[in-house]
Amino acid sequence: MELSRGIVSAPLPQPALRTAPAPRLGRRHPFGAFSPPLPLSHVREQGCFISRALRPPQEWVEGWVRSNDTLVRGLPILVGGASLVAVLLNRAVSGIAAVADASSSQSRADILTLALSVTDILAGLVWLSIRPKSISPVVPRGVECKRVGPGVSSYALHELLWTWDSLTTATCCKSLVVVYGGNCILQIGVAAGSPEDGNAITVDTQKFIQGSLYKSAMESKKQSYLANLALYPGRSELPFLPANTQALILQPVGDKGIAIVGGDTIRGFTSIDQAWIAMIADKLDATLSKSYNS
Spell out the domains of the chain, with CATH numbers in brackets: 57-129 (no CATH), 143-291 (3.30.450.40)
Query: First and final CA of the chain: distance in angstroms?
Result: 136
For residue 294, the model assigns a pLDDT of 61
Instruction: Output the pTM of the full model.
Output: 0.61
CB-CB contact of 190 with 242 (8 Å): yes
Least Cα distance to 201 among 147, 153, 261, 272 occurs for: 147
27 compared with 246, residue with greater pLDDT? 246
SS3 of 6, please? Answer: coil
Q: What distance in Å separates the CA atoms of residue 242 and residue 200, rounded to the nearest whole number? A: 10
Q: Is the model's pLDDT at 64 over the cut of 60?
A: yes
DSSP for 141-207, written as a single string:
-SEEEEEE-TTB-HHHHHHHHHHHHHHHHHS-EEEEEEEETTEEEEEEEEEPBPTTT-PBPPP-HHH
Span 45-54, average pLDDT: 45
Across the range 52-66, mean pLDDT stands at 64
Distances (CA, A) of 181 to 104, 150, 156, 238, 283: 83, 12, 14, 19, 16
Q: Kindly tell me if the per-residue pLDDT of 44 is higher than 80.
A: no
Q: How many CB atoms lie within 10 A of CB 294?
A: 14
- Per-chain mean pLDDT for the chain: 80
pLDDT of residue 103: 66
pLDDT digits (tens, 9 = 90+) for 118-175: 999 999 889 888 877 778 899 999 999 999 998 899 999 999 999 999 999 999 999 9
Q: What is the DSSP string of 174-191?
A: EEEEEEETTEEEEEEEEE
Instruction: Count CA atoms closer than 13 A to 101's CA, side-chain side.
Output: 8
Q: Decide: residue 5, CB within 10 A, 0-12 exposed, 13-18 middle, 19+ buried.
A: exposed
Pick the more confident residue, 8 or 150.
150
pLDDT confidence band for 239 (50 / 70 / 90): very high
Looking at residue 292, its pLDDT comes to: 72
pLDDT at 93: 83
Sheet architecture: strand order including 247-253: 143-148, 183-191, 173-180, 257-263, 247-253, 224-226
Residue 265 is predicted with a pLDDT of 94
**Coil/strand/helix, residue 7:** coil
Quickly state the pLDDT bin for 56 (edges 50, 70, 90). low
